[in-house]
A and B are shown apart, each in its own frame.
Chain A
Amino acid sequence: MFDIKKISEKISSLFGAKKEQNDTSVLKTMEEKDMSRVNRTQRVVQVLVKIALYAFLLTMAVIVLFPFYWMLISSVKSLEEYNLSVPTLFPEAFHFENYVEGFKTANLGQLFLNTVFVGVVSTILSLVITVLSAFAFARLEFVGKNALFAALLATMMIPGELFTITNYQTINDFFGLKTLGNQIGSKFLQEIGNWQNTYTVLIVPFLVSVFYIYLLKQNFMQIPNELYLAAKVDGTTDIKYLWKVMIPLAFPTIISITILKMMGAWNSYIWPRLVANDDAHKLITNGLRGADFTVDSMVHYPRQMAAVAIVSLPLFLVFLFFRKYIMKGVSRSGIKG
Chain B
Amino acid sequence: MKVELQNLTKIFPSRSKKQGEEVVAVNNFTFAIPDGKLVGLLGPSGCGKSTTLYMISGLQKPSSGKIFFGDEDVTDLAPESRGIGLVFQNYALYPHMTVKQNIMFPLQNLKGEDRLPKEVMIERAYEAAKLVQIDELMDRKPSELSGGQQQRVAIARALVKMPRVLLLDEPLSNLDARLRLQTREEIRRIQKETGITTVFVTHDQEEAMSISDIIVVMKLGVVQQIGKPQEVYDDPKNLFVAKFLGTPPINVFEGKVSGGKLYLGEDAVLDVPGVSDRAVYVGIRPEAFIPMSDGPLQCEISNVEVMGRDVSVVSKHVASINPFVRSIVDADNKISVSDEFVRFYLKPHKVFLFDKETEQRLYFGNQKPASIEEM
- Whether A230 lies near B80 (C-beta < 8 A) is no
**Which residue on chain B has the smallest CB distance to residue A247?**
B96
A233 with B79: CB separation less than 8 A: yes
**A235 x B110 contact (CB < 8 A):** yes
A232 touches B92 (CB 8 A): no
Which chain A residue lies CB-closest to B106? A234
Q: Find out whether the CB atom of B109 lies under 8 angstroms from the CB atom of A226.
A: no
Does B89 sit within 8 A of A, measured CB to CB? yes
The answer to the question of A240 belonging to the interface, with a C-beta cut-off of 8 Å to chain B, is yes
Known contacts being A232-B80, A233-B85, is A249 close to B96, with CB within 8 Å?
yes
Give the CA-CA distance A233 to B86 in the complex, in Å.
Answer: 7
Interface residues in A243-258 (C-beta closer than 8 Å to B)? 244-245, 248-249
Number of interface residues of A (CB under 8 A): 16
CA of A248 to CA of B90, assembled, Å: 20
- Given A245-B94, A249-B96, is A226 in contact with B89 using a C-beta cutoff of 8 Å? yes
A155 at the interface (CB under 8 A from B): no
Are A224 and B106 CB-contacts (below 8 A) given A229-B59, A233-B84, A235-B80?
A: no
B6 to chain A, nearest CB (A): 22
A234 to B78 Cα, complex, angstroms: 10
B43-72 vs A, CB cutoff 8 Å, 1 = contact: the mask equals 000000000000001110000000000000
Cβ of B88 < 8 Å from any Cβ of A? Answer: yes
- Chain A residues with Cβ below 8 Å from B79 are 232-233, 235
Please tell me if A333 contacts chain B, counting CB pairs below 8 Å: no
A227 to B92, CA, bound (A): 5
> What is the bound-complex CA distance between A230 and B58, given in angstroms?
11
In the bound complex, CA of A295 to CA of B305 (Å)? 101
The smallest beta-carbon distance between A226 and chain B, in angstroms, is 4
A186 at the interface (CB under 8 A from B): no
- The number of chain B residues touching the other chain, given as a range, is 20 to 34
A226 B80 Cβ-Cβ under 8 A: no
B94 touches A232 (CB 8 A): no
A224-B90, A240-B109 known; A233 and B59 CB under 8 Å? yes
Q: How far is the CA of A231 from the CA of B106 in the complex (A)?
A: 8
The contact of A234 among B58, B89, B105, by CB within 8 Å, is B105
Considering the complex, give the chain B residue whose CB is closest to the CB of A229. B59
Is the beta-carbon distance between B109 and A230 smaller than 8 angstroms?
A: no
Q: How far is the CB of A234 from chain B (nearest CB, A)?
A: 4
Residue A236 is within 8 A (CB to CB) of chain B in the complex: yes
Residues in B whose Cβ lies below 8 Å from that of A234: 80, 105-106, 109, 157, 161
| CB-based nearest A residue for B154 | A230
Per the 8 Å Cβ criterion, residues 84-110 of B in contact with A are 84-86, 88-92, 94-96, 105-106, 109-110
In the complex, which residues 202-249 of chain A have their Cβ closer than 8 Å to any Cβ of chain B?
224, 226-227, 229-236, 240, 244-245, 248-249
Given contacts A240-B109, A248-B96, contact A233 B57 (CB under 8 A): yes
Contacts of A231 in B (CB 8 A): 105
Residues of chain A with a CB closer than 8 A to B92's CB: 224, 226-227, 229-230
- Shortest 8 CB-CB distances between A and B: which pairs? A235-B80, A226-B92, A234-B106, A230-B92, A226-B88, A235-B109, A233-B86, A233-B79
Mark A residues whose CB is within 8 Å of B.
Answer: 224, 226-227, 229-236, 240, 244-245, 248-249
Given contacts A226-B88, A236-B80, 17 further A-B contacts (CB under 8 A): A226-B91, A229-B59, A229-B88, A230-B92, A232-B78, A233-B57, A233-B79, A233-B80, A234-B80, A234-B161, A235-B79, A235-B80, A235-B81, A235-B106, A235-B109, A235-B110, A245-B94
Jot down 16 A-B pairs with beta carbons below 8 A, ordered by A: A224-B90, A229-B59, A229-B88, A230-B92, A230-B157, A232-B78, A232-B79, A232-B80, A234-B105, A234-B109, A235-B80, A235-B81, A244-B94, A244-B105, A248-B96, A249-B96
